[in-house]
Amino acid sequence: MTSTVFVTGSTAGIGLTTAGMIAEAGHQVIVHARDPERAEQVRTVLEAPVVVGDLASLAETRTVAEAVRSLGAIDAVVHNAGIYESGARTETVDGLERTFQVNVLAPYLLTALIPVPRRLIYLTSGMASEGHIVLDDLQRERRPWSATGAYRDSKLCEIAMAQAMARRFPESVVTAVCPGWVKTRMGGAGAPTDVRTGSATQVWLATSDEPAALHSGRYMRHMRELPSPATATDRSIQDGLLEACARLSGADLPNS
C-alpha cells in the first residue's frame, strides 16, 4: 500500500536520503526546508511537495504544521530535524534555548498540530545515554552550560517523548530511532555508517506493513531494538516532559 510520509529537516543528510528512499520505494513524501533557499535546492533533486519553516520559531513551526495539514492525510511523520551547535548558549526568537526548541519542542508541537498518523518516528542519538532530563531546568538555564550536554539531553528527551507518545496514541506505531554515527555534515567524514544505512530503519518503520515493523514503543538502531535508557522509561518523567512542552508551546496534544 502506498503511504504518504512527512520528513522534517529533509533538504540534506539523513533527512534528504530518507525522503529519497521513501520516494524510490514508490511512496509519496513531503519534504521540509528551513528556508526558501533550501527549498529551492531540494526541488532540484527531489520531486515532492516542500513545506517551509524554521523549527527554531514557534510561529514558523505552526506554519509548517498548517502547510502539512493542507496537503491531506498523512500516514507517517519522521521527526528527523535536529541541530548540534557548539559555542555559547543561544536563545531563539521565542526566548527559548535553541537546541531544546528545535530538537524537542518542535517535534512535540508538530505532533500536537498535525492529525496523528499511523506511524510516528522520532530521531535520537546514541549520545542520549549520557543525557539528563531535569524537568525544572530543561533548557539549562541554571545548570552549567554545555553544548554537548544540551544535545545529549535533547536526544534523551526525544526517546522519552516517543515512549510517552506510544502510550498516548495506542492506535499509532511510535518509535525512537538512533541512526548511528553517520557520514553527514554533522557526523563528519570519519563516521563509520553510510547515509543510506543510517536512513533505512526509519524508511522501513514509516512504510512497511511487515509485522516486525508494527510494534510500538521501541527504541531502535539499524533495524534492531535497543534497551531504552532508564530515565526515558520513567512515566513520571515522560508526563512531566509533555506537560512542559505543552506549557512552552501553548499547544495541547489531541486525545488518543
The structure's pTM equals 0.96
Q: Is residue 108 annotated as a catalytic residue, yes or no?
A: no
Q: Answer yes or no: are the C-beta atoms of 22 and 6 closer than 8 Å.
A: no
Between the CA of residue 240 and those of 100, 115, 133, 233, what are the distances in Å?
15, 23, 10, 12
Residue ranges of the chain whose pLDDT lies below 50: none
Q: What is the pLDDT of residue 183?
A: 67
Give ∠ CA 198-205-168 in degrees, rounded to 5.
120
CATH code 3.40.50.720 for 4-249:
yes
Catalytic residue among 108, 155, 183, 219: 155
Q: What is the pLDDT of residue 180?
A: 81
CA distance 163 to 19: 24
CA distance 105 to 82: 11
Between the CA of residue 131 and those of 89, 128, 157, 158, 224, what are the distances in Å?
17, 5, 8, 11, 22
Catalytic residue among 84, 108, 151, 219: 151
Residue 65 in grid coordinates: 504544521
pLDDT in tens, 211-223: 999 999 999 999 9
Q: Is residue 183 annotated as a catalytic residue, yes or no?
A: no
Query: Domain-by-domain residue ranges, the chain?
Result: 4-249
Q: What is the pLDDT of residue 252?
A: 98
